[in-house]
């Protein structure tokens, strides 16, 4: 099927609108059916540039392995079986450093570089590093931390904790193993707090023991629009595409959300196109195949619900 967007003028405007709506509805059903099949099994794709193409988020890189996880700002968060809005800005930069255990190279924990780190070695291994601030809403935290080189087969645990103005409270736990652990994680906080920190503990027979800790990244922000980037297999679409439709399988919805997408290659870009509700869109014809599909999750502008919108997959047809 070749996509067509019918452009009409009086007296045909009503007919054109109805025809476009019917075509979009048919293709939407096709796209949702494809995503649901991908949730259950690996896709079987047609050759000859006559098929749509999609992805289901059964894991962080998707059933087809197309999702690029760069672990950077503006990236959406994978949670269980769907993608939700992530962190687009970092609020930690101007906040007060919380360093009760005197880490070395503290600034490395807050520079956004996942290869540099603040570090600490201790004989009584229960150490923490983070930020404190005036009470504010925090949607999510992104962190990378490592606990290693612990003596005596110690059990190692990494905690994400929030501060309520009087005490620190555990909101997420990682590890709990005698192996060295490195965690690169997103944690949804969805609360008004006065601090965020990473605490690492190593215990042997119930007591802290010698160990070392590294905090590579600690960032946090409010909820905002973020993206999911996919690599499109070569040969999926024509090199002269000029029309497309994108279909999300929406898991969590509320009035005021939006979901957009675009197709790109090294030199060309469709611009952001509407996918909620799905519609056939026209754009300047490409001169080579699209190589990337980028989906943008946009929370509602006022009092958004944590994690909304979320999607379990996305499908696109372009000709």
Do 135 and 249 lie in a common domain? no
- Same domain for 72 and 100: no
Q: Which of 246, 254, 231 is nearest to 276 (CA)?
A: 246
State the pLDDT at residue 175: 82
Structure tokens at 214: 């590294």
Whether 6 maps to a domain, the answer reads no
The whole-number average pLDDT for the span 286-298 is 98
Question: Are residues 257 and 148 both part of a single domain?
Answer: no
> Token match 């675009």: residue?
262
Among residues 203, 221, 239, which one ends one of the domains? 221
Same domain for 206 and 269, yes or no, is: no
CATH number of the domain to which 160 belongs: 2.60.120.260
Structure confidence by residue, pLDDT tens digits, 98-137: 999 999 999 999 998 889 999 998 777 789 999 999 999 9
Same domain membership, residue 292 and residue 172 = no
Count how many domains the chain has: 2
The candidate with the shortest Cα–Cα distance to 202, out of 139, 87, 283, 120, is: 120
Domain boundary among the residues 221, 246, 269 is at 221
pLDDT tens digits, one per residue of 150-186 = 555 677 889 999 999 999 999 999 987 666 677 788 9
User: Which residues, in sequence order, are CB contacts of 21 under 8 Å at separation 6+?
Assistant: none
First to last CA, the chain: 9
Given this model, what pLDDT does residue 23 score?
77
193 in any annotated domain: yes
With 80 as the cut, is the pLDDT of residue 203 above it?
no
What is the pTM for the complete model shown? 0.84
Q: 286: left (phi > 0), else alpha (psi -120 to 50), else beta?
A: beta
| Cα separations in angstroms, 75 against 65, 83, 226, 227 | 17, 10, 5, 5
Out of 180, 197, 221, a domain closes at 221
Domain holding 110, by residue range, is 90-221
């Amino acid at each position: 099927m070749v996509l067509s967007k019918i452009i009409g003028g009086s007296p045909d405007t009503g007919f054109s609108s109805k025809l476009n709506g019917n075509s979009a509805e048919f293709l939407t059903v096709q796209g949702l059916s494809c995503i649901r099949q991908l949730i259950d099994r690996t896709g079987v794709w047609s050759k000859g540039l006559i098929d749509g193409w999609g992805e289901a988020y059964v894991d962080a890189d998707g059933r087809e392995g197309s999702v690029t996880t760069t672990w950077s700002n503006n990236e959406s968060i994978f949670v269980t079986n769907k993608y939700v809005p992530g962190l687009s800005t970092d609020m930690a930069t101007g906040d007060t450093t919380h360093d009760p255990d005197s880490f070395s190279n503290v600034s490395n924990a807050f520079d956004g570089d996942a290869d540099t780190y603040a570090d600490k070695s201790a004989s009584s291994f229960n150490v923490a590093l983070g930020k404190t601030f005036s009470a504010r809403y925090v949607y999510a935290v992104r962190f990378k931390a490592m606990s290693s080189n612990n003596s005596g087969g110690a059990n190692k645990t990494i905690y994400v904790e929030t501060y309520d103005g009087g005490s620190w409270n555990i909101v997420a736990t990682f590890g709990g193993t005698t192996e060295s652990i490195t965690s690169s994680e997103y944690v949804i906080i969805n609360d008004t707090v006065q601090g965020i920190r990473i605490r690492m503990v190593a215990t042997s027979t119930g007591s802290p023991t010698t160990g070392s800790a590294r905090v590579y990244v600690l960032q946090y922000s409010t909820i905002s629009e973020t993206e999911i980037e996919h690599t499109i297999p070569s040969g999926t679409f024509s090199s002269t595409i000029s029309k497309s439709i994108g279909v999300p399988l929406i898991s969590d919805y509320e009035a005021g959300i939006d979901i957009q997408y675009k197709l790109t290659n090294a030199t060309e870009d469709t611009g952001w196109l509407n996918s909620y509700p799905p519609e056939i869109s026209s754009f300047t014809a490409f001169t080579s195949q699209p190589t990337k599909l980028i989906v943008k999750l946009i929370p509602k502008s006022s009092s958004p619900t944590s994690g909304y919108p979320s999607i379990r997959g996305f499908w696109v047809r372009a000709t």
